[in-house]
Structure 1
């Protein structure tokens, strides 16, 4: 009998295949034993790639039948909390795709279930696991930026609506559009580097102007399954402003479609000692030295360090094995979903909301 941790996959769609599959196949301490997806053909395809025989279309049946140590959840957003709580209640460690949940109440239930079970619950925050992000976090923690008092972040696309008419654009299943889809990534990255200050108020606005536009220039629009007769009841652009308990602020903008020159993502932070710009993975620092203004960039190095989802999954397994403490906690998820939910509420009411 293998000493490896036994993995069950729940959700075998595009994000699992593109971002999770390779990492699990190469991990020497984890063995996939079952795959579940409501689309049996899709489940069987991933099972074949993983060398797994057990295939399910009902995750509850899989949890009953299989002895699992870990589940990886990559379903539509609505089901993240339900599945995670069910697994945690059975003593199973949970890795869950972002966003953690579609409401603060569900995120809180997940955190409570994790605390009660003593198991690791980790939502994917893959952008923390790049060389530039890791360097900037350490630089900030060591005081290189000084007091980080404001910043801005975003991921804006010219045309890149994923799975139009499918679950991505159906609010009941997704919880929203680019704010909840893309905002999780860079709001998290910015606030993590800032030291995870507590959010206290938000103001936001959302727009839907491209629901009937079929043009695309982004590879990311390939995610999801398009439906000609489907629903589009989410935003395609969101802007906002977050205030934190320590007085810091963060401006945000996330879009699937808008009339800009080209797609980009970024985190920009302003500190009393230096500022930082992390744009499309390229890091630059701006400060003073020897009485002069200076621009700095870390020298690029090559190596075998795991990045993005591979790095996130490696860290998750290290935490499951007791080798590391999680740098991504359920409490981070609760704060994140509070922010996103409040921005949607602010956009609807036209007022700033206090958390």
Structure 2
């Protein structure tokens, strides 16, 4: 009897230990490159939730670094002036780039040869030339290069994808419309360090066109399963030149596919914050009003009805846990996933074509700008 009790106790202890090892995955050691992006608060406040450990921060602005480390209870001992100093001192497995979009290229140039994985904030790059070099470096050195979009984590967008492709509830997609933006970065109170590059045509690659046009380009590439448009037409406006003298603050992009049209309305002139999506098929529609609220109609004989999308499951609901899964668990992103490199490349191509169209006043034909290659 005594041996049975000892064996039973040992069994339960081993089961408990085994359960802990299954659920308590080691955190991903990450470095934060730059603190000048307004989205940096996302990683600073969610580090423990996302099972990552911030081992270093590269930020030359000491006042900014002191302000944010104090706010989030981090030590200034992990702050370094340069990426090189931070990497040599802390040896991160991956970095999250919260610098200007222009500086994404230099981040990948440094990290890729060292085998350090990279996640950047949207979009991937300011130009196709930058994106092409970044992608080549990532593939050559076999690192993961991911791009984070806020809308990747909307339960409504995932539900829409399932209704369109898995359940086929609205028939073939004929039109997708996006409304993205807000009142303007100055109007909503973005920090000075954010505004300095966000409103610069070189450092951001444009204004509202790149800042918010990328969301529609990203989601439509995902919904279209990696198809590229046949042509891109874009008009931009500068409705508030006093506030944004160097960049556009309003853009409308039209993507023409063989049987689908995508309209992306990106603006710093909305009367409210907005990131919505409307998908129209041959028999019905799906409207994602925000991260949760949806309106659907599967057949014209049925009245539209409101539904609420479930939040994404824990572990699949934020970018930093995704990065950990990709690096630690060898998780493979589905083809043209919103965070994937192949999706991000097409997004930058769409934005490049849109900028050229807006500048020339003419429609840009895809194969003329991006000739097919043998690769």
Q: TM-score, normalised by structure 2?
A: 0.80
1:321 equivalent to 2:328? Answer yes
Aligned to 2:345: 334
1:81 equivalent to 2:105? Answer yes
Aligned to 1:56: 80
1:93-128 Cα distance to aligned partner (Å, 9 max, x none): 111111110011111111111111222110102212
Partner Cα separation in structure 2 for residue 62 and residue 296 of structure 1: 52
The secondary structure found in structure 1 opposite 2:48 is: helix
The secondary structure found in structure 2 opposite 1:298 is: strand
1:255 equivalent to 2:264? Answer no
Aligned to 1:278: 288
Aligned to 2:255: 242
Q: How far is 1:343 from its partner? A: 0.7
Identify which of 188, 191, 194 aligns with 2:218.
Answer: 188
Q: How far is 1:46 from its partner? A: 4.0
Aligned to 1:311: 318
Summarize the Cα distance change of 1:73–1:300 in structure 2 as closer, same or farther, 3 Å threshold. closer
The secondary structure found in structure 1 opposite 2:171 is: coil
Alignment of 1:203-222 (within 5 A): 203-212=233-242
The secondary structure found in structure 1 opposite 2:32 is: strand
Aligned to 1:33: 55
Do the aligned partners of 1:170 and 1:232 also contact (CA within 8 Å) in 2?
no
Do the aligned partners of 2:50 and 2:320 also contact (CA within 8 Å) in 1?
no
Identify which of 130, 153, 167 aligns with 2:154.
Answer: 130
Do the aligned partners of 2:315 and 2:322 also contact (CA within 8 Å) in 1?
no
Do the aligned partners of 1:243 and 1:250 also contact (CA within 8 Å) in 2?
yes
Alignment of 1:95-174 (within 5 A): 95-142=119-166, 143-161=168-186, 162=190, 166-174=196-204
Do the aligned partners of 2:295 and 2:304 also contact (CA within 8 Å) in 1?
yes
Provide the alpha-carbon RMSD of the alignment: 2.5
Identify which of 2, 9, 13 aligns with 2:36.
Answer: 13
**Structure 1 residues without counterparts, runs of 5 or longer:** 214-230
Summarize the Cα distance change of 1:149–1:301 in structure 2 as closer, same or farther, 3 Å threshold. closer
Aligned to 1:265: 275
Do the aligned partners of 2:221 and 2:346 also contact (CA within 8 Å) in 1?
no
Partner Cα separation in structure 1 for residue 271 and residue 35 of structure 2: 34
Q: TM-score, normalised by structure 1?
A: 0.84
Do the aligned partners of 2:221 and 2:228 also contact (CA within 8 Å) in 1?
no
**Structure 2 residues without counterparts, runs of 5 or longer:** 1-24, 367-375
The secondary structure found in structure 2 opposite 1:96 is: strand
Aligned to 1:222: none
1:185-227 Cα distance to aligned partner (Å, 9 max, x none): 23312332332321231011111121225xxxxxxxxxxxxxx
Q: How far is 1:5 from its partner? A: 3.0
Q: How far is 1:296 from its partner? A: 3.3
Partner Cα separation in structure 2 for residue 102 and residue 262 of structure 1: 26
Partner Cα separation in structure 2 for residue 303 and residue 113 of structure 1: 32
The secondary structure found in structure 1 opposite 2:239 is: coil
Partner Cα separation in structure 2 for residue 27 and residue 4 of structure 1: 8
Do the aligned partners of 1:266 and 1:280 also contact (CA within 8 Å) in 2?
yes
Q: How far is 1:88 from its partner? A: 1.5
Partner Cα separation in structure 2 for residue 156 and residue 303 of structure 1: 23
Q: How far is 1:166 from its partner? A: 1.8
